[in-house]
Amino acid sequence: MIRRAIDFIDERTGIKKLTAHLLEEPIKGGARWAYVFGSALLGAFLVQAVTGVALMTSYAPSDKTAWASVHFIQFQQAGGWLVRGIHHFGAQAMVILLGAHLVQVALFGAYRKPREVTWWLGLGLMAITLGFALTGYLLPWDQKGYWATRVATNIAGTVPLVGDATQRLLQGGGEYGSLTLTRFYTLHVVVLPALLVGLVAAHVALFRRHGVTPPASADVSRVDAFFPKQLFKDVVAALVIVAVVLALALRGHGAPLDAPADPSSDYPARPEWYFLALFQLLKYFHGPLEIVGTIVLPTLVALYLFALPLVDRSRPGSQSTALRGRIKPLVPLMIIAATAAGLTLKAQADDARDAAFQKERAKADVRAKAAVRLAMDGVPPEGPLVMLARSPELRGPELFDKHCAGCHTLGEHGEEKDRNAPKLDGWSKEGWILDLLHDPDGDARFGRTPYKGEMPSMDVKPKDADPSWTPMPAEDMKACAAFLASQGDPPGFTPPPASLRSDPKLVARGKEIVTTRCTACHLWNGEGDDGGQGLAPELSGYGSLAWVRAQIANPASKATYREDALDPERKGHMPRFDTELSAADIDLLATWVVEKSRR
């Protein structure tokens, strides 16, 4: 039945003859493991094509959606991480196989007459493969791809005369934007694959025309057919490659995804490892010589590879087929390979030793992790940068560094030597309040502020105290601390079991003290300050998000401190920020400060 169907088709297409032609290729000198690289490359390309098409069904190329869609593929879509991981590591496998294929062909002398055109087509394929790597790196629109690719397009821009135009055409304009992505995407999924398929067809057809180039030691009287002897070896090689790629994809649970591309950020850009040699090269050519590293040397390498079959005129099959006879023309190739390896290692060693780089890298990793986590809830249509800008966790510290860290410190933010406002670690929690009640002018509290000397200690007798003064009992101070600390908790919050405020009796006792005795100076729900000093702040909601928000917006609104807080006489008091920060930013900042100081 099947045979009849095949016969039916063969009669109309000649498919049997074609298959026989493909499979019965004679391999002069016998099948060899050394010949597997070309086929393995084809196999790897097929894997890239299949996974690439699968990725295309979920990827959306625009600066607002690219990162989000890749995040979706990597972290939410079933099997997405595996497909992306295979594509990511498959690309690296292709680069390695390409190098191996080139070296094998060079060592066997398979570039020589009459195979020059096959060699040149191969070089074209190498350029296309590197083009795939370069364009693909940008598509996730993450920090890593964005900054590394910016360097690459800027290198294109340094070419004399045509550089600026080339760069503009690649970028789709004077700077990176939506059109950069659509252009790189078009190159990656249509233009380069079309070129690759065309060149591969020509490359393989010419290879069939001329056959393999066996080494000098081979017994050329022995001839194997491509199927099954060579094809078996090729399939084994492809299987090994696929197994390694799969293992890497499984180990990395897909491929890494950095934080979304942010043009105003600082980022220690590095290319993918196979471009590290070129990256390192750029460090050595200074000022006007820059172009030597960016253009001249890479062009010389390309020219050498192009000219190799024209320089080495020895004929295959002659005595000089042996590598020994062709050392001279291959010396540059060995130097190039050794230099590339050396530069790659040097680049890695430089980075490993560079403390500033490691710090930057660690900072970028923290941001990447946070971005990935935040995006699990979905990315807004305005894009991932807006998502990050709306996150207290990421935006909070930035705002704090910009607006608060000049005076306050909190965790690793702010410089202790510049501080002239309270330290905010643990602020408004029991321990902090107990310290405040005991010694308000302590260095971490009002000691460096214009409020120094304004609040009396509750348990240390002041110098000018009247004889009736008694210290507040320790138990009362604990009760006050428990109650005030509970003021900062959001509704429905259960205090940690070990904290003072988890004891309702203590809190109730504290409430009684605070609302009757502290209101001699402080406000409680707007009432109090019997002496009319206008200094001590509102205690209801002290430490809560609403309190902090109000304090940042305007410390003189009576919701926290009062008019006197912004009295020019009290120089150095906290300024209002509602004139320079949006309500949304104040909210983000307050949320982060409360979270960071109280948790």
Partner 1 sequence: MSSEPESKPPPSRGVQPRTSRRSLAIATALGACAVAAAAAAPAIALVMAPLQDKKGGGRWVRTVKLDQLKDGAPRRVAIIDDRKDAWTVEKNVELGSVWLVRNGDQVRAFSAVCPHLGCSVNAVSADDGTSAGFACPCHTSSFDPSGKRTSGPSPRDLDVLETKIEDGHVAVDFRRFRIGVEQKVET
By CB under 8 A, residue 390 contacts partner 1: no
Q: Map the footprint of partner 1 across residues 37-96, applying CB under 8 A.
A: 63-64
Minimum CB separation from partner 1 for residue 132, in Å?
Answer: 19
Minimum CB separation from partner 1 for residue 375, in Å?
Answer: 19
Contacts of 251 (CB under 8 A, 6+ apart): none
Helix/strand/coil (H/E/C) assignment for every residue in 206-264: HHHHHCCCCCCCCCCCCEEEHHHHHHHHHHHHHHHHHHHHHHHHHHCCCCCCCCECCCC
Minimum CB separation from partner 1 for residue 187, in Å?
Answer: 11
By CB under 8 A, residue 360 contacts partner 1: yes
Phi, psi of 423 (to 5 degrees): -75, 135
Q: Mark the segment that binds partner 1 (CB under 8 A) among 110-118, 309-317, 356-364, 475-483.
A: 356-364
By CB under 8 A, residue 293 contacts partner 1: yes
Q: In this complex, which beta carbon is closest to partner 1, that of residue 290 or of residue 512?
A: 290
Identify any residues that bridge with 524 across adjacent strands, giving them in sequence order: 527
- Binding partner 1 by CB under 8 A: which of 207, 227, 357, 524? 357
Where on the phi/psi map is residue 381: left (φ > 0), alpha (ψ -120 to 50), or beta? alpha
By CB under 8 A, residue 391 contacts partner 1: no
Measured over the CA atoms of residue 535, residue 538, residue 543 and residue 544, the dihedral's sign is: negative
Six-digit token pair at 441? Answer: 């002018």
Six-digit token pair at 482? Answer: 């428990």
- Binding partner 1 by CB under 8 A: which of 12, 78, 288, 463? 288
Minimum CB separation from partner 1 for residue 138, in Å?
Answer: 14
By CB under 8 A, residue 532 contacts partner 1: no
Minimum CB separation from partner 1 for residue 383, in Å?
Answer: 9
By CB under 8 A, residue 178 contacts partner 1: yes
Minimum CB separation from partner 1 for residue 550, in Å?
Answer: 22
Determine the size of the site formed for partner 1 (CB under 8 A).
51
Cis peptide before 61 (omega within 30 of 0): no
Q: Within 10 A of 337 (CB to CB), how many other CB atoms are there?
A: 15
Q: Mark the segment that binds partner 1 (CB under 8 A) among 28-36, 195-203, 402-410, 540-548.
A: 402-410
Minimum CB separation from partner 1 for residue 530, in Å?
Answer: 38
CB 145 within 8 A of CB 261: yes
Q: In this complex, which beta carbon is closest to partner 1, that of residue 170 or of residue 436?
A: 170
By CB under 8 A, residue 286 contacts partner 1: yes
Instruction: State how far the Cα of 318 lies from the Cα of 579, in Å rounded to an integer.
Output: 85
By CB under 8 A, residue 164 contacts partner 1: yes
Per-residue x/- marks for partner 1, 234-263, CB under 8 A? ----------------------------xx
Contacts of 470 (CB under 8 A, 6+ apart): none
By CB under 8 A, residue 268 contacts partner 1: yes
Six-digit token pair at 549? Answer: 């928000």
Minimum CB separation from partner 1 for residue 540, in Å?
Answer: 32
By CB under 8 A, residue 491 contacts partner 1: no
CA nearest 482: which of 522, 511, 459? 511
CB 176 within 8 A of CB 292: no
- Binding partner 1 by CB under 8 A: which of 35, 279, 446, 542? 279
By CB under 8 A, residue 344 contacts partner 1: no
- Binding partner 1 by CB under 8 A: which of 30, 99, 177, 450? 177
Minimum CB separation from partner 1 for residue 363, in Å?
Answer: 11
Per-residue x/- marks for partner 1, 132-161, CB under 8 A? ---------------x--xx--xx-xx---
Amino acid in the structure at residue 302: A
**Cα separations (Å) of 495 from 437, 475, 504, 539, 572?**
21, 19, 10, 19, 35
By CB under 8 A, residue 365 contacts partner 1: no
Contacts of 116 (CB under 8 A, 6+ apart): 309, 310
- Binding partner 1 by CB under 8 A: which of 406, 473, 504, 531? 406
- Binding partner 1 by CB under 8 A: which of 197, 282, 362, 583? 282
Run of H or E residues at 130: helix 116-138
Q: Map the footprint of partner 1 across residues 370-389, applying CB under 8 A.
A: 382, 385
CB 122 within 8 A of CB 116: no
By CB under 8 A, residue 414 contacts partner 1: no
For 327-332, the CB contacts below 8 A with 24+ separation are: 330/106, 330/107, 332/304
**Cα separations (Å) of 43 from 37, 64, 119, 246, 575?**
10, 34, 20, 14, 66
Minimum CB separation from partner 1 for residue 136, in Å?
Answer: 20
CB 67 within 8 A of CB 141: yes
By CB under 8 A, residue 298 contacts partner 1: no
CB 231 within 8 A of CB 337: no
Q: In this complex, which beta carbon is closest to partner 1, that of residue 263 or of residue 473?
A: 263
Phi, psi of 460 (to 5 degrees): -115, 125
CA nearest 522: which of 563, 560, 548? 560
Minimum CB separation from partner 1 for residue 361, in Å?
Answer: 9
Contacts with partner 1 by CB under 8 A lie at 63-64, 147, 150-151, 154-155, 157-158, 164-165, 168-169, 171-175, 177-179, 262-270, 279, 282-288, 290-291, 293-294, 356-357, 360, 382, 385, 402-403, 406, 580
